[in-house]
Each structure stands twice: as C-alpha cells, then as structure tokens.
Amino acid sequence: MDCDEFRSRGKEMIEYICNYLGSIESRRVTPSIEPGYLRKLIPEEAPADPEDWDRIMSDVESKIMPGVTHWQHPRFHAYFPSGNSFPSILGDMLSDAIGCIGFSWAASPACTELETIVLDWLGKAIGLPNQFLAFKEGSKGGGVIQTSASECVLVSMLAARAQALKRLKQQHPFVEEGLLLSKLMAYCSKEAHSCVEKAAMICFVKLRILEPDEKSSLRGKTLLMAMEEDETMGLIPFFVSTTLGTTSCCSFDNLPEIGVVCQKFSCVWLHVDGAYAGNAFICPELKHLLDGIEYADSFNTNPNKWLLTNFDCSTMWVRDRIRLTSALVVDPLYLQHGYSDATIDYRHWGVPLSRRFRSLKLWFVLRCFGISGLQKYIRLHIALAKRFEAHVLGDKRFEICNEVKLGLVCFRLKGPDKLNEKLLSNINASGKLHMVPANVNEKYVIRFCVVSHNATEDDIDHAWKVICEFAEDLLEIQAA
C-alpha cells in the first residue's frame, strides 16, 4: 500500500468506522456463535501472496463482526465502560503513524514531555494533592501512563517491596533476602479487584484479604487488627491496596481511616485503585470521594474506562518518583543518553521497555471535550444510573444491592440466587441486553452499568422494559 492508496483506503476506513458506530444498534449486542467459529472461516496458513484490500474488508464484515461483542452498543451494560470517542481514535491514529517508542526522553522527547504535562493536567483536574504532580515546586511526584490498572497495582507493589526489602536489609544485613521476602505481607479487601492477588503472586509476597463492612467498604479498624496480629506473628506489613469504586458494586474503601492506620506502621506503601471511579473526581461535587488521598503513595485511574479515551490508557501517579523508579531501574549503555539526569525516562516507571505515544489521545480528549465536556459526560451517566435505580426501586419485585453513587447499579429479583442467575442468563441469551453478575454481600446480583458514550433516558427505559419482560416470564413459569 503506497501513500496514495493509504489516503483513499484511510477515507474508506473512516467511513466504515462512522457507519459501524452510527448503526451499531442494528447489530446484536453479543455475538450468537459457538467457540471455535472463526477457525472454520479463516485459512490455516497466512497467505503466501498479497491479498486484495476489498477482500480483506469484506471478511471483516462477514467473518470478524459476527464474533464481536459490541462494547459501544447502547444495549451493552456489562463490566465498566470501554472509553471511546472520535478525538481519541484520531489521537491514536496519529500515534500509530508517528510510531515512536518512547522509552526514554531521548527516544522521543515530545512523547515523554507530553505524558508528564497531560498527567499533571488530569491530576489537577481530579484533585490530586500537589505532591503527585511533576511540575509543582518542591514536589517529588509525577504521573505515568501504564497499560492497565493491573499493571499500576503491580508496579506499586514492586516499588513497595523494593522499599521494604531495602530497609530490612539495612536492619538485618546477615539475613538472607529470601527469608525477608517471606515475611512481607500485603493487604486488600475482599472487594478489591483480582489484579491485587495476581500482583502478590508475581511479587512472591503474602496477601491478606480482609472482610469489608456491610457497605462493602474496608474499614481502618479491620486493617489495624490484621496488621497488628501479623506483626505479633513476626510478619511485616508493607503494602495496602485500597479501592475507590470496586468492580462488583462500586463501593469505596474508607481511605481516611486506612490512611491513619498505615501511618502507624513504618514503611507501608498505600496504593489507591480508582480504575473506574477515579475519573469521576473531575466533577467538583464528587471530589469528596477522594478524601484521604493525602495519605496515599500512589493512585491510578483508567481514562480508558470512563473518560472517553480508548484503551490503553491507565494513568498512575506517585508521591515519590524515586521510590518507584529505584525498584525498576536497569540501565544498559544502549539505552542511556546525555540528559538522563535532567529528564524523565519512563522505561524506569513500569515493566515494559517499549511504550506507545499514548498521551497524544488523552491530550486530544482533554482539549476537544474540555474539563466541562468531560464533567457533563460523567454527570449524564450518573443521572442515568439514578434513573435506572428509580425504576428498580419503583418495582416491589426487585431490590437494589449497592449504594448508587456513580454509573453502576446492582440489583436483583427478591428471591433466591438461582432465580437471578436464570433471569440474567435468559436476558443475555436473547442478545437484547448484555449485563454481568457479581457477588455482593453473599448474594448473586446483576450489575447494570451505564456504558454507552451517548446513552439516553430512552436507552435506560428500554433496558428496564426488557428486564421486566424477562422477569415476568420467569416469575410466571415459577408460579405455574
């Protein structure tokens, strides 16, 4: 493909994307296919010779699209939103075209510098304390874009582990490092995302999973008891991961209480995972949900969830960048450059060396929507979630199972879990809506998340109508 062909095929692709997103409602939200469907449609070998572009595109429609779950569909209410907007798509296109690999400042200065600047923009907009910003007088902190929230948690835990081991080695210079490692204990709530457990597996550290209160919030008292108990058994608390906006039910750990507890222990790293909810703090009226952040060592949120930015874009801030990078620095000659002392080299801030120019799309989004446009979008989703909650509350057959603070509503039919499992599986099988379940307070609940960028009141009312129809059918069969 030469430049002229790219120009014309590029226009066609934009046309295809506009048609896809513009008429997405005409498709089933989830595919109706069996596992392995694609194996039968695609040759076993890659083509020996170049193929015609039109043939490739026709296979997209006939072979790929039938197996796609349409996350941007107005009937998609599963998981959390997958950020998407035209400015973001265009920003990513440009990033692909520039195609730089910005592992160090010298490897592409604009790639590094824009990331630092845009992370300061967003950090300020969501109300992070000045210590987390790179360009504040006296600050040692700063932000970085990682691939995912899981990676943010892992990187924080790696940094915490390195800090703890360094301190322990100074205190016990003759004790073998493996033994010191075996004493380290991390903590999170039962409601924390499973990525915390995975990070602990990778880091070879113990993880104590704690019971939250009846509002699915981890409390300081519970953490304190666990940490004190572990200390008396010779274990060493070193890392606490808290969540603002849990995956199951969007609950909030009690950060002010937990922060105070962490301060009682020397060298405990406090991480705050706001993968979904963190984006909402861009609205002044929601900033109180971030109370206690002043105790944190690191914080992450995913604009690629709820800030109209395409995957991947998981933003993470640390209070002390040296404490982060000292866990991750490896410095071969071929990666060094003359400005290392005066610049940020993001290869020391995470696991991979290579990194895309991801700040470009976030910069496009922040500039095209402005903070006011993003606030409007978040507020719309919350208002729509409240509308859905009102529908549920108005129907005695159902109950609400979470405190609806943002865009997620957990609900269920009053009655046994099996009834709700059946309700959800019938709805999902129909392809009329897509939702996923969760376990909240030992009950099977259905999660309804407002997801679509341009969601409307009609979409919410329609979803409720579909749910009621399936519930009626099910309850009738039960009664018969």
Residues at the site binding ligand PLP, with contacts judged by CB under 6 A = 80, 148-150, 193, 195, 243, 246-247, 273, 275-276, 302, 314
Question: For residue 126, what are its two tokens?
Answer: 């969501």
* Per-residue DSSP letter, 62: I
Task: Write down the least CB distance from residue 152 to ligand PLP, Å.
Answer: 8
Q: Judged by CB, which is closer to ligand PLP: 193, or 321?
A: 193
How far is the C-alpha of 73 from the C-alpha of 66, rounded, in Å? 14
Task: Give the nearest distance from C-beta 358 to ligand PLP in angstroms.
Answer: 13
- Give CA–CA dist 142/317, Å, rounded: 6
How far apart are CB 141 and ligand PLP at their closest, in Å?
21
Give the Cα separation of 95 and 359 in Å (integer): 9
Give min distance, CB of 276 to ligand PLP, in A: 5
Nearer to ligand PLP, 222 or 301 (CB): 301
For residue 336, how many C-alpha atoms fall within 13 Å in the half-sphere facing its CB?
Answer: 6
Give just the sign of the alpha carbon dihedral 175, 178, 183, 188.
positive
Residue placing its CB nearer to ligand PLP in the complex, 302 or 452:
302
> How do strand 436-440 and strand 408-413 relate by DSSP bridges?
unpaired
Q: Shortest Cβ distance from residue 246 to ligand PLP (Å)? A: 6
Task: Give me 138's structure tokens.
Answer: 């006296």
- Shortest spacing between CB 293 and ligand PLP, in angstroms: 16
> What would the DSSP string read from start to end of 275-307?
TTGGGGGGSGGGGGGGTTGGG-SEEEE-HHHHS
Query: How many C-beta atoms lie closer than 10 Å to residue 26's C-beta?
Result: 7
* Euclidean distance between CA atoms 214 and 236, whole angstroms: 28
Q: How far is the CB of 312 from ligand PLP (least distance, A)?
A: 8
Identify which of residues 81 and 423 has a Cβ nearer to ligand PLP in the complex. Answer: 81
Q: In the structure encoding, which two tokens stand for residue 137, read together?
A: 């007088």
Nearer to ligand PLP, 209 or 390 (CB): 209
DSSP string, 427-469: HHHHTS-B-EEEEETTEEEEEEE---TT--HHHHHHHHHHHHH
Q: What single letter denotes the amino acid at residue 25?
A: E
- Amino acid identity for residue 366 in this structure: L
Least distance CB 273 / ligand PLP (angstroms):
5
Return d(Cα 227, Cα 221) in angstroms, integer.
10
CB of 195 to ligand PLP, least distance (A): 5
Cβ 214 to ligand PLP shortest distance, Å:
20
For residue 317, give both structure tokens. Answer: 């801030």
Instruction: Return the number of the residue (195 or 378) whose C-beta is nearest ligand PLP.
Output: 195
CA dihedral (352, 354, 360, 362) in degrees, to 10, reads -10
**How far is residue 24's CA from residue 454's CA, in Å, rounded to a whole number?**
12
Q: Pick between residue 108 and residue 189 the one whose CB is nearest to ligand PLP.
A: 189
Nearer to ligand PLP by Cβ, of 276 and 364: the residue is 276
For ligand PLP, which is the closer residue by CB, 192 or 374?
A: 192
Each as own residue / partner, the long-range contacts of residues 420-429 (CB below 8 Å, 24 or more positions apart, any chain) are: 420/444, 420/445, 420/446, 422/474, 423/467, 423/470, 423/471, 423/474, 426/470, 426/473, 426/474, 427/466, 427/467, 427/470, 428/30
Q: Is there a contact between 141 and 132 (Cβ–Cβ < 8 Å)?
A: yes
For ligand PLP, which is the closer residue by CB, 131 or 150?
Answer: 150
Nearer to ligand PLP by Cβ, of 108 and 359: the residue is 359
Residue 198 Cβ, how far from ligand PLP at the closest point, in Å?
9
Distance of CA 307 to the CA centre of its chain: 11
